Structure 1
């Protein structure tokens, strides 16, 4: 699994409608064959910051970054962001899905 976390800071005028602005990119990324998840979160401490948590199958990175929607996003993001996004990108060999957290196990 390729696990990617990216922090985005939109320009103030796009802070409240940022998810609408990136909706096409989000939908197309989620529809990719190698996508495992692609989820946005707005910071509870800084409402001008969004976190993208995404994962792709190990062999899906090239298809994602070479897709038409990724190329369109490369044109869009510099126009609506206040700063360059910050990223953590890592490969977790053999991982394909979420695990249960043993420390907070819920017994039903």
Structure 2
């Protein structure tokens, strides 16, 4: 699996509208056969920053993703919406298949 985390610093005037701005792109990525998850969250520590957590089945799925029309369209639009270059973390782990239970914390009772 390929795990990608991207911090998106968004221009203040686009911060509240960010989910709407990326909705079409998000829906298209989630429909890709090799996509495992694609989830946006707002940073609680960094103002006007959105965090994207992405998972793809394998390198082939990642290549299909970056070659897609919706990826190219999003990449052409996003420079107008960001306030700085996004930061990325990329992990390629063939042993990882998706989310699993966290052993250290379980509900009481």
TM-score between both structures, scaled by the size of structure 2: 0.93
Q: Give the match for residue 66 of structure 1.
A: 67
Partner SS for 2:78: helix
**How far did residue 46 of structure 1 move?**
2.7
* Cα drift, residue 105 of structure 1: 2.6
C-alpha separation in 2, matches of 1:47 and 1:23: 21
Counterpart residue number, 1:21: 21
Contact 1:15 1:47 in 2 (8 A): no
Q: How many residues align?
A: 108
In 1, Cα distance between equivalents of 2:108 and 2:5: 30
RMSD (Å), alpha carbons: 1.2
Q: 2:28 matched to 1:32?
A: no
Distance in 2, Cα, partners of 1:39 & 1:80: 18
2:99 equivalent in structure 1? 98
2:87 is equivalent to residue 86 of structure 1:
yes
Specify every segment of 5 or more residues in structure 1 that has no aligned partner in the other structure, as ranges: none
d(CA) in 2 for partners of 1:43 and 1:11? 14
Is the 8 Å Cα contact of residues 42 and 49 (structure 1) preserved in structure 2? yes
Structure 1 stretch displaced more, 1-10 or 98-107: 98-107
Which 4+ residue blocks in structure 1 deviate beyond 2 angstroms? Answer: 105-108
